[in-house]
Structure 1
Amino acid sequence: MKQLIFVCLIGLFTISCNQNKKAEQTTNQSTDEFAPSGDVVEVIYFHGTQRCPTCQAIEAETKSLIESSFADAINSKKLIFKIVDISEPENKAIADRYEVAWSSLFVNDWKKDQESVNNLTEFAFTNARNNPDAFKRGLSEKINEFLAN
């Protein structure tokens, strides 16, 4: 029985890590209801009702990094941080837009109504719980890369 549960959990993690491989996609979103105004970096953490310790670590470490290192960018509206519960009916459209079905982390760069979508889900699942320093370092580098442009 334990082996079956373990196999199911591994399957869920595999699905969540591989559910969206559109890592560096650029699209025109000028009329999109989700498009922020102006040039901005957008960090979106998606989650469902049930979350494993790794999912919880992704949210906690992302939130900690943004609050401690990017407060000025948040205050100046150069960085937006969203936590989206995909189990809520009002969040169905944004979950569908990013093809999210499980916990996921995106860092998107918006410039002149063009969105560069960066799915960091696999990176987050690999590092957030077991190597939080590497997770924060990698996430910080991606955010800073976009803020500098």
Structure 2
Amino acid sequence: MKKMVCLLSVCLALAACGMQGRSEKEIQTSDKAVVENSEVTAKDHVEVLYFHGKQRCATCIAIENNTLAVMKENLSEQVKKGEVVFKVIDISKKENEKIAEKYEVT
């Protein structure tokens, strides 16, 4: 089975509506395990790729934080098993040029 890649954008922004009561710091702290566990990879897995540039607005930061929260709430077991992997990719960094080109992210 081929590695599946899942790009989230607008759909997760809609999920953000229910997360208004949590601060950015609170979300980053509580969801750190999702990012840490995403380093574990399985042969067949889904990748959730979050692309951003050097400067991010409040909406961009909220999308990342809410994606983490949704994954923690709904996909924690899959993340632990390495079936779902979350990657944050800063397209302004030289080491991320190839993946940005692959997905035509600007």
Give me the TM-score of the superposition, normalised by structure 1.
0.42
Q: Which ranges in structure 2 are unaligned for 5 or more consecutive residues?
A: 1-9, 11-40
Q: Which runs of 5+ in 1 are unaligned?
A: 1-16, 18-35, 102-149
1:37 CA displacement: 5.7
Distance 1:39 1:56 in 2: 29
* Partner in structure 1 of residue 97 of structure 2: 92
Give the number of the structure whose alpha-carbon radius of gyration is greater. 1
Whether 2:80 is the aligned partner of 1:75: answer yes
Aligned equivalent of 2:57: 52
More helix by share: 2
Alignment of 1:1-149 (within 5 A): 38-101=43-106
Distance in structure 1 (CA, Å) of the matches to 2:69 and 2:90: 19
TM-score normalised by L of structure 2: 0.58
Structure 1 stretches of 4+ moved >6 Å:
none
In the comparison of the two structures, how many residue pairs are matched? 67
State the 1:68 CA deviation.
Answer: 2.3
